[in-house]
Structure formats: structure tokens, C-alpha cells
Structure 1
Amino acid sequence: MSSAASNPCSPNPVDKPAVKRNSEDIGWEYGTLVNPADLNVIKCKLCPMVVKAGIYRLKLHIASIKGQVRSCPNATPEDREKCKKAIGDSRKAKIARLLEKQDVIDAVANEMDTDDGTGLDDLGSSQPRAVGIPFNTINCDEFDQVLEAASRFGPGAKKPYQHELREKLLHEEVEDTKKIVKDQAEEWKRTGCSLMTDAWIDQKRRSIMNLCINCCIGTSFVQSKELSAESHTGEFIFEFVDNFIEKFGDGKKHIVQVVTDNAANNMAAKDMLYVKRPNLFWTSCATHTINLVLEGIGKMRKFKNTLDSAKSLTIFIYAHHKTLSLMRKFTKKRDIVRPGVTRFASAFLTLQSLYEKKDQLRMMSQSEEWEKIRHVKKSAKGVQAIATLVKSSFWNGVSLCLRVFEPLVNVLRMVDGDTKPSMPWLYGEILKAKEEIRIAVGNMDKNGTGLYKSIIENVDEKMKKRLDCPIHMAAYCLNPYYSYSKPSIFHNEDVIDGFFAAVETFYHRDYDKQTQVLNEDFHKFKDKVGHFGKNVAQLGCKDYNFSPDI
């Protein structure tokens, strides 16, 4: 027997469980603390021996490794082998840690051997970029390298000045940015690019307008200008964009479209740009447009009452720490407010979260803990919150909102995401969303009037001349995911007119190219002639994840 003294029924008080350091260490099978307050004084369970240097010394005692402590006379060969193996494993782990540290030291040594005496500056300047100075900086390998470099310089070593660090990093970032822009400029020549505008107000209330160039491999910021003193009229925006295009040099030949939001001044600038540069497309921001669609539907009386009630309920719950704590107790610490890509998307996600926790919230409103909260029954907002939670009409309204909004929110997520170029899918997914909304309201528009008609009128009004432009129609028509699975698209007058208008814009005044595309290339695509007829060309047409990059 390896340990009679370890019998759990032993009356010896020193064998009672005590707090241990490294409690999973195998050594604790053979030892017990003499005093729980001193983790280094341990009594052997197999003999009267007491060691005063920790569990490692006890394992030496059991393993009969001579030199530091007497061997245990009662340890069996099995006990000795177990402790020898544990000691050996511990030594191997220690050696591995030392080797890992040596790798860091060698990396620093290589830096020092190859630099010109400014190694400390080089290593120091990499820290902010590598870790962004969070609390876990100390766990980063680069931090170990800095310490090793500092120790090699010895006493009196000086850190780089802030100015030296900042300037060095700035030059490095500038060079990296130039390389990125150069790579993207090559892509502009091959596939074209888009010019995007974005106006915003900073914390100092200054009006800033940014211009960015976007292509299929990324986006490059190209210009920013403070325009606080200017009135942002349509004419001013047109001149600002047009001047940039004119100064863009050879790159202006590769700009295909200008993208802005849907503000009235941008729409006015669009008309002016078309007169001067009829070969450019002006495209409205799809995210902004779809968000306007959702907000328009949300203002309809059928949905507004539900949204307002849900908003008042969540504000009431989050405004008081007792109601918030009780809500989290009933929902198992899950919040009901969830952020989204836009303000209305956040409202939809909050409705979705409310509906998922419907049963828990209704149970909360009927609980004794809820009734004991003073401001619940003493305030008008508290009484309203209770009424909202128990009313079936509210929850039915939430369900209808989710069924109507979800198809459009899915489109919003698609256009705001980075998983794939959204242009070829936008118009087709909006048509799909309209059909899902029709099903969601239960064909309630049988006589041409009613809820469905009002919703679709709102969608069409916000989309008109924004998401149904020629470039959208051309992208929809030329996406085989839609057109090959539903050939009637090729006979849709609106779609084909839009496609023709897009070709005329893209190949402005190049009538030979227009003729080739409209009379030859398009028919090859439509009839699946030549390469368009091969299986590989149609492989992704049945799968929404089809992408030109596959």
C-alpha cells in the first residue's frame, strides 16, 4: 500500500482538507499541510518526515533522490516512479520556458547585430503599432523584446523621444499607405473605381467632407476638407466633386460612378454632374436608402404604435437599476436592447429580442418582486409598462413588425456588409423582400387597397431614381443567379431599358462598342452561347453565395 495515512476516515486533524498551492500537483497525494497558513511546511503521509521547503522537496523525499532531503523508508517503487516522473516533467517544462525566452533573446540579438546602433529605437517604435497599448501589453512578445533590448544596453540607456517615435511611425504608415494605394491604382485601370463622398460634423462642430476611392480590392481615403464656412448647396457639392475628378489626372478615366447619400443637395448635384459628365453613374447609398424605407414603414400607424410602446417599455426598464436588475434576472442576464448597423436596424433587433423573451418578461410583470418596486405602480410610465407587457395586441403587433421588417433588414445587412459586392444582388433581393412582405401580411390587399399596398408604395417611393437606376437594372439583368433561373427577366421592359441605358452611359459616344455589347455580347450571355454555356459558368447560379472571386 502506498499510503495508509491518506485514508479519508483518518481522525488525524492534520489530514483535513486545506487550501493548497498547485493543488493538482501529484505531490499532494503524499503530503498534507501542517499549518494551513504556511504552504511550505508539509508532513509526509507515509512516514513522520516533515519538509519545510514546499511540495517539490516532498517529491524528492518520496522519489528517494538524494542530495537535498532524506529518502522515505515507506515509499513503494510505484510511489518513487510517480514522483520521479513528475519531477522530470517539471524540469522539461522549465527547460521549454527557458528555450522560449532564449528565442526572444536571440531575436533581439539579431536585431542588434544588423542595425546601425539604433536598435532600441527600432524595437521601441514597434510597440504602439503592435499592441495599441492595452493592459495586456505585458503579455506580448514585443514587450519581452523591449525588456531584453533595454537590459542589453545596460544602466543609463535612454528611451526614444516622443517626437522621434511619432515621426518614425508616421513615415512608416505613409509608405505603407502609398503601397496600398499603388496596388489599388493598378486595379482601377483594370476594373474601374467609384468616388464616394461623406459629409459629417466633428466634435468641434466643424463641417468636414471626405472623398474616398473604392474598388474591388479596397477603399482609399484621398481627400478631406473643412467646409464649415460654405453652404452645402447642390451647386457647391457638384463643383467640389467635379474639381476633384478634374485634378485626379489619368485616374479620372477610371472613375465609373459617384456614390452619395440621398440628401436633396446631393440629388441636385447629380443632375448637374450628368450634364457635364454623362459617362459617369451617380448612385445613391443603398444603406441610407433602405434605412429610409424602413423608417417610412415604421411611421405608418399600423407599426408606429407598436414601435412607440416598445421604445417606452425599454426606456422605462433601463432607466431604473431595480427594474433593469430584475429584467436581467428573469432573462438570465440577457439584455433586450441590441445595437444594429443603423438606428432603425437597432429598433428591429430590439423588437426581435423582446419577442424572444416574451414569456420571461410577462412572468416578470406578474412577479412579487416587480410589484414591490415602488416606481412601477406609483408612476404613469410604470403602469404603462405593465399594460404593454400583458397586452396581447402589443405582442401581435411586434410579431407583425418582425415579419414585415425582417426581409428589408436582411437586405440592409447585405449592402452594409463586406462579404461580397452587393450591387449584383440589390435589386433582386428587394424584389424578393417585397414578395416576403406580401406573404407576411397574409394577402390582406385582395382589393388593391390595404396594408400591403401602403407598404409597397412606401418602398417604391424611396427607391425611385435611387435603387432602380440603370446601373442597378444592368447588375440585376447580368447576374445569372436571377436571369438564368428566371429568363422572363430578359423580357421585362423596365429591366431591359435600364440595361440599355447603362450601356449607353458606360460607353458614352462609343457607338461601335455599344452595338457590339447590345447586339452581340448580350445575346451570347442571354442564350448561354460559347463560354456562357459551360457548366463552370453556371455553377454558382443556383447558389446565393456565388461570387466572381470563386
Structure 2
Amino acid sequence: MVAKYGPGFQPPTSHELKTWILKEEVQDVQKLMEEHKKDWNKYGCSIMSDGWTDGKSRVILNFLVNSPKGTWFLKSVDVLDTIKNGELMLNYLDRVVEEVGENNGIQVVTDNASNYKWAGKELMSYRSNLWWTPCAVYCIDLMLEDISKLKVFETTTQRAKQIVKFIYGHTQVLAIMRKFTSNKEIIRPAVTRFATSFLTLQSLYKQKGALISMFQSNDWLECESTKHKEANDVKKWILRDGSFWNHVAYCIKSVMLLVCVLREVDSEVRPAMGFIYELMDAAKDKIATNLGNVEAKYLPIWRRIDNRWTPQLHQPLHAAGYYLNPKF
């Protein structure tokens, strides 16, 4: 638009931006919201809360409303001092329900933490039209967290993290790795999602041959990073410790089916709630098959899945994008 206008364009002043221009934008947003409210009233909606921590360690709670019209951002609240207080969380949820309209809301979707669980059940006790539903993605992430605490998983993921940290922490080593992997990267673990630890294992396993060749090469022998104390451990796991790669393969066979379910549920391609029970049953069966139907191998994983999943079977089949208006 600037190019079309040509030289001499005068941008709005700061006074214009914060007065009439801002007011017009607010009015436009309010008109858009009215369209969403019509859908909330017609079809019902899901009220969703999503907590996160920003770069300044402030804990922010976002409230969103989902309907067939789409997802609408409602507001954010700084809850640093109150995030673990169930009663205050109940007050936040209650005020949002009041703002959206109890008759419009079908359910409130939150994390599955104890304070949210208590607040959700209390909310249902006096808001008869509403169901509290824990977030399916969060539940699956907790399953992965529980599974990652099993000894073989914990040891293997820790070693994988050390390998990746060493490679990406030394410029020369990283350059050699990219040479042997044809510039393919290894997925690095993130703090917030346990799924990324298992994706790292899968990524490492795909580059197994390249990594073995790399640590046997002259490039590695001539690299100054071989003098670092972590280098011997990393080289030992990659080359001489056959159990490491066996454990990586075992972890992938055991868990990647759950990661696939998480991806399916977390996507916005289709409403996931109608499919999730079948997906979870199929994932459990496939995990057992991958582990040779040996109970000693798959039952510990099944138990951790059931500990997180069984309570959800008593919840209604409502989720963001899946609507049954109680008024009809």
C-alpha cells in the first residue's frame, strides 16, 4: 500500500493512533465478537483456559471461547500469586462463565492439575448446564511424563539429551554432524512437552548410522572437542554401548504411538473428541504388539496410561469443536 501511494505519505500521529483510530479498531473487534456471540447462543460453546509463563516469569491465564464460528480470545489474567489456589481459580472461571453466559456454555476445558480439577467440579455443582472437562492433550502429556520416569526411559532420555547437548554445544562437532547427516538436524528436547524427549530419541535413531560413522571418522579424531570430558561418554554410548541403541528402539516402540495420538488430538484438522477413545485403545494394542505381547514389557506402560486416562471415561464427549447444545 505504501508503494502504491508513492512518496510523501504522512503516517498517523501518535495522538490519532491512540484516539479515533484505536476507537474504530475497538468497534470493529466488538462487531466481530457479536457474530461469535450469535453462534455461542445458537450452537453452544466451549470455554477454554490456557496457562503459560512469559519471559519475565509472569504466569498468565488466557481465556478463550470455541464455537463452530472459531476460537475467540476473551482475556488474559496475571495469576502468579493465585495459580495454585483452587478457590481463586474457581472465581476466575465463574466470572468468565458469567461473561459468556451460562446457557451458552456447554463445558469448561482446563488443565488436569489438582486446583483446576477441584475448581471444575465445584463449578459443575452449581452451574447445572456446564461440564468440566480436562484437556485431552494435557492428559496425554502427563502419561508421557509418567512413562518417562520408568528407569529404562529415564536413563535413555537423559543420555539422549546429553548427546544432543554436546553436539549442539560445540560448533566443530555440530559442523561434523551436519556433514555426516547431509544437513539433517536432530530434534532437541523442550521444557514444556515431554513428547519432545521421545521425538529426540526417534530423531537420533534415524541418524544412528550417520552418528556412528561420524564418531569413527578422521574428522572426529582431529576435532578439538574430543578433549572435553563429555566427549568420551557420548562416544561410548554411540559406538560401544549396544544397550543404548536397543533402549532407544524400545522407547520408540513403546511410546511413539501415544505421541501420534497427541498430535491427532492437538491438531485443528478435525474435532478430535469423537475419535480419541478409539485412538487410545488402538495405541495401547499397538504398543503391546510392538513389544511382542510380553506383559512384563507393556503392562507398566499400560498402567501409566490407565492411571491418567480411566477417569476421563466418565466425562461427556464434549470438546472444542464438538457441540451439543443443552437447550435443544
TM-score by length of 1: 0.55
Once the two structures are superposed, what CA deviation does each residue of 1:155-213 show, in whole Å capped at 9, x if it has no partner?
Answer: xx754323324556534542342233222222212221011123334444444333221
Matched, 1:223 2:71: no
SS of residue paired to 1:343: coil
Distance 1:234 1:163, change over 3 A: same
Q: 2:302: which partner in 1?
A: 456
Q: 1:181: which partner in 2?
A: 33
Q: 1:347: which partner in 2?
A: 197
Contact 1:235 1:272 in 2 (8 A): no
Q: 2:247: which partner in 1?
A: 397
Q: 2:158 aligns with which of 301, 308, 314?
A: 308
Distance 1:454 1:228 in 2: 36
Q: 1:259 aligns with which of 92, 101, 109?
A: 109
Equivalent positions of 1:29-108 (< 5 A) are none
Equivalent positions of 1:479-518 (< 5 A) are none
Once the two structures are superposed, what CA deviation does each residue of 1:286-313 show, in whole Å capped at 9, x if it has no partner?
Answer: 1111111112112111222221111111
Q: 2:126: which partner in 1?
A: 276
Q: 1:211 aligns with which of 44, 59, 63?
A: 63
Distance 2:4 2:186 in 1: 45
Q: 1:162: which partner in 2?
A: 14
Matched, 1:199 2:51: yes
Q: 1:144: which partner in 2?
A: 3
Q: 2:232: which partner in 1?
A: 383
Unaligned runs of 5+ in 2: none
Distance 1:342 1:265 in 2: 19
Distance 1:229 1:362, change over 3 A: closer
Matched, 1:468 2:313: yes
Distance 1:172 1:406, change over 3 A: farther
Distance 1:437 1:270, change over 3 A: same
Once the two structures are superposed, what CA deviation does each residue of 1:342-368 show, in whole Å capped at 9, x if it has no partner?
Answer: 522222222222111111110001011
Contact 1:341 1:413 in 2 (8 A): no
Q: 2:147: which partner in 1?
A: 297
Count, aligned residues: 324
Contact 2:142 2:308 in 1 (8 A): yes
Contact 1:407 1:433 in 2 (8 A): yes
Runs of 4+ in 1 over 6 A off after TM superposition: none
Equivalent positions of 1:118-129 (< 5 A) are none
Cα distance, 1:223 vs structure 2: 2.8
Once the two structures are superposed, what CA deviation does each residue of 1:421-479 show, in whole Å capped at 9, x if it has no partner?
Answer: 1111111111111111011111111xxxx1211111000101132x323314x89xxx9
Distance 1:297 1:231, change over 3 A: closer
Distance 1:413 1:384 in 2: 33
Distance 1:386 1:146, change over 3 A: same
Q: 1:331 aligns with which of 163, 167, 181?
A: 181
Q: 1:239: which partner in 2?
A: 91
Distance 1:158 1:267, change over 3 A: closer
SS of residue paired to 2:129: coil
Q: Look up the equivalent residue of 2:128 and give its one-letter code.
A: P
Q: 1:424: which partner in 2?
A: 274
Bigger RCO of structures 1 and 2 (CA < 8 A, at least 6 apart): 2
Distance 1:418 1:167 in 2: 37
**Which one has the largest radius of gyration?**
1
Distance 2:170 2:185 in 1: 14
Q: Look up the equivalent residue of 1:385 and give its one-letter code.
A: V
Q: Look up the equivalent residue of 1:471 and give its one-letter code.
A: P
Contact 1:340 1:349 in 2 (8 A): no
SS of residue paired to 1:468: helix
Distance 2:223 2:246 in 1: 28
Unaligned runs of 5+ in 1: 1-141, 151-156, 480-502, 514-550
Q: 1:411: which partner in 2?
A: 261
Distance 1:171 1:227 in 2: 29
Cα distance, 1:337 vs structure 2: 2.2
